[in-house]
Amino acid sequence: MSIHVEGTIERKGFGSGTWALVSASGETYELHKAPNDLQKMDSK
């Protein structure tokens, strides 16, 4: 299964800290085992 989501990458403080994708509509998706190239804040 795959989905297409556009948004920004943010560092979230839940749990021990995790990276998440926050969509334009405000939905938050935790990035489980996010690749290193995604582990940075969106500069927008």
**pLDDT tens digits for range 1-44:** 888 889 998 888 766 678 888 999 999 888 888 788 877 765 55
Domain assignment of residue 29, yes or no: yes
Domain assignment of residue 22, yes or no: yes
pLDDT in the model for residue 42 = 59
pLDDT in the model for residue 23 = 93
pLDDT in the model for residue 15 = 66
Domain assignment of residue 31, yes or no: yes
Domain assignment of residue 43, yes or no: no
Domain assignment of residue 24, yes or no: yes
Structural domain that includes position 26:
7-35
Domain assignment of residue 41, yes or no: no
Q: Are 12 and 3 in contact (CB under 8 A)?
A: no
User: How many domains are contained in the chain?
Assistant: 1
Is the overall model pTM greater than 0.75, yes or no?
Answer: no
> Where is 9: in which H helix or E strand?
strand 7-12
Q: Are 9 and 21 in contact (CB under 8 A)?
A: yes
Domain assignment of residue 44, yes or no: no
pLDDT in the model for residue 14 = 66
